[in-house]
């Protein structure tokens, strides 16, 4: 490999949320990576740093061109430059759109278990969370949409917005074209606007792609806002750089007004530089990263399989199959119905920090989320601590 993802990083002294919150434990929880970002991005930022003046920034055409070229070449979909709006992050954008596209006490549908901050974006703005739980096939370790329940929630006159996670966090599921088309038609029929959070879209396993929601049909295209960014892909979350893509001009104007009113539509001095470098020069690094992450996921599976082979079936755990993200969703329902208590045990006894599934809604209380985006040595150590902790948990 050209890039050394095994090289250990020391994030102490960098105010890292992931490591500081862990308090000396091995952190495999919040969704950022322990890898240094792609060399072309670091070099571009170094040049910007060396310039030494950090005043107000504009959003140049080359920023839009970088997004357009990346999605055309990597995902086979074309955006119009006018459809793209800069924003400081996907969650600030979602919160802004919840405020702008709905009124207080209206329903926002989410498919649980799902990224826990969606709840904050809805509840903190005085709207109702309306969960449409995904159907879980425990034997197959896969999720699917419960169409009857989803349509009932969308048909509620108080429901005006849906937040879709594509690919899905925490399960790693890639929604196929047929599924997205059916979902899009239901939302169109019931006058429900879709926000599609596609921040994990580039982190698919080798050989797997994802389907942009807006590319599926004209109804999906004209009734949606797509949230995209280089931040998860290239480990740039702290730089506050993202975009929303809104094809319909009427909807776009509403979103643009909301983002500007909320003051989340202006870039910092490094946001444009990093995004342009990522989307114009980061491809080779990303391809090697995806292969490395797939190896990490295989290492997690091997450790889980070895654990299951060593214990009674009543203590087995199941790794949910997913072809996207570096996040793994572990079904612990045979062991406990309280994974908050399990995570407390792992932290206290094994110094391992994972995310308890209750945070993600639905039937998440039976699951834990594992972040495998770290060096293989740490993954192996984390799995040793996890399986030892599973054995000792009572």
List the structure tokens of 270.
């490094």
Tokens linked to 32: 């950022």
Global confidence as pTM: 0.97
Average pLDDT of the residues of the chain: 97
Residues in CB range of 192: below 8 A, 6 or more apart: 109, 154, 159, 160, 161, 162, 186
Computed from CA positions of residues 5, 11, 15, 20, in that sequence, does the dihedral angle turn out positive or negative?
positive
The residue ranges of the chain whose pLDDT is under 50 are none
Tokens 């309306």 sit on residue: 130
Read off the pLDDT of residues 175-223 as tens digits, 9 standing for 90 and up: 999 999 999 999 999 999 999 999 999 999 999 999 999 999 999 999 9
Residues contacting residue 157 through CB under 8 Å, at least 6 positions apart: none
Residue 115 in tokens: 């990224």
pLDDT of residue 363: 82
d(CA 324, CA 297): 10
**Count of beta carbons in the 10 Å neighbourhood of residue 24:** 9
Report residue 30: phi and psi, to 5°.
-60, 150
Rounded CA-CA distance 195/164 in Å is: 6
Biggest alpha carbon distance in the chain? 63
Q: Is 195 helix (H, G, I), strand (E, B) or coil?
A: strand
Q: In 229-364, which ranges are continuous DSSP H helix?
A: 231-234, 249-261, 271-281, 283-310, 339-350
pLDDT for 364: 87
Residue with tokens 């050989």: 207
Chain centroid, CA 310 distance in Å: 33
| Alpha carbon distance 331, 347 (integer Å) | 18
Tokens of 365: 């209380």
Percent of the chain with pLDDT over 90: 97
Please state, in angstroms and rounded to a whole number, the distance separating the CA atoms of residues 162 and 195: 6
Report how far residue 254's alpha carbon sits from residue 147's, in angstroms, rounded to the nearest whole number: 30
**Kind of pairing, strands 224-228 and 193-197?**
parallel
Rounded alpha-carbon distances, angstroms, from residue 385 to 8, 31, 43, 49, 379: 19, 20, 37, 41, 10
Q: What is the pLDDT of residue 139?
A: 84
Instruction: Annotate 244-255 with DSSP letters as a single string.
Output: EE--SHHHHHHH
């Amino acid at each position: 490999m050209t890039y050394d993802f095994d090289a250990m990083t020391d994030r102490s002294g960098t105010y890292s949320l992931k490591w500081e919150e862990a308090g000396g434990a091995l952190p495999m929880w919040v969704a950022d990576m322990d890898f240094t970002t792609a060399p072309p991005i670091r070099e571009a930022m170094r040049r910007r740093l060396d310039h030494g003046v950090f005043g107000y920034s504009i959003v140049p055409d080359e920023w839009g061109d970088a997004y357009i070229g990346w999605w055309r070449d990597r995902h086979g979909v074309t955006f119009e430059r006018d459809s793209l709006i800069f924003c400081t992050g996907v969650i600030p954008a979602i919160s802004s759109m919840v405020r702008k596209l709905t009124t207080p006490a209206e329903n926002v549908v989410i498919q649980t278990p799902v990224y826990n901050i969606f709840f904050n974006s809805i509840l903190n703005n005085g709207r109702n969370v309306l969960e449409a739980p995904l159907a879980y096939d425990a034997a197959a370790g896969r999720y699917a949409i419960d169409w009857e329940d989803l349509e009932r929630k969308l048909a509620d006159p108080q429901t005006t917005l849906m937040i879709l996670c594509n690919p899905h966090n925490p399960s790693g599921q890639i929604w196929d074209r047929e599924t997205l088309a059916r979902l899009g038609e239901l939302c169109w029929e019931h006058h429900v606007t879709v926000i599609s959070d596609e921040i994990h879209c580039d982190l698919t396993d080798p050989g797997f792609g994802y389907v942009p929601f807006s590319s599926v049909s004209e109804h999906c295209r004209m009734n949606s806002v797509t949230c995209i960014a280089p931040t998860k892909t290239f480990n740039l979350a702290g730089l506050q750089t993202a975009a929303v893509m809104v094809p319909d001009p009427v909807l776009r104007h509403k979103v643009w007004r909301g983002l500007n009113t909320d003051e989340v539509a202006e870039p910092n001095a490094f946001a444009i530089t990093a995004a342009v470098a990522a989307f114009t020069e980061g491809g080779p690094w990303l391809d090697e990263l995806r292969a490395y992450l797939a190896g990490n996921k295989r290492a997690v599976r091997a450790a889980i399989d070895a654990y299951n082979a060593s214990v009674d079936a009543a203590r087995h755990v199941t790794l949910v199959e997913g072809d996207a993200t570096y996040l793994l969703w572990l079904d612990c329902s045979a062991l406990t119905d309280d994974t908050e208590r399990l995570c407390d045990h792992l932290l206290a006894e094994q110094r391992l920090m994972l995310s308890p599934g209750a945070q993600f809604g639905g039937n998440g209380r039976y699951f834990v989320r594992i972040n495998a985006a770290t060096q293989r040595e740490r993954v192996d150590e984390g799995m040793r601590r996890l399986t030892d902790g599973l054995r000792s948990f009572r």
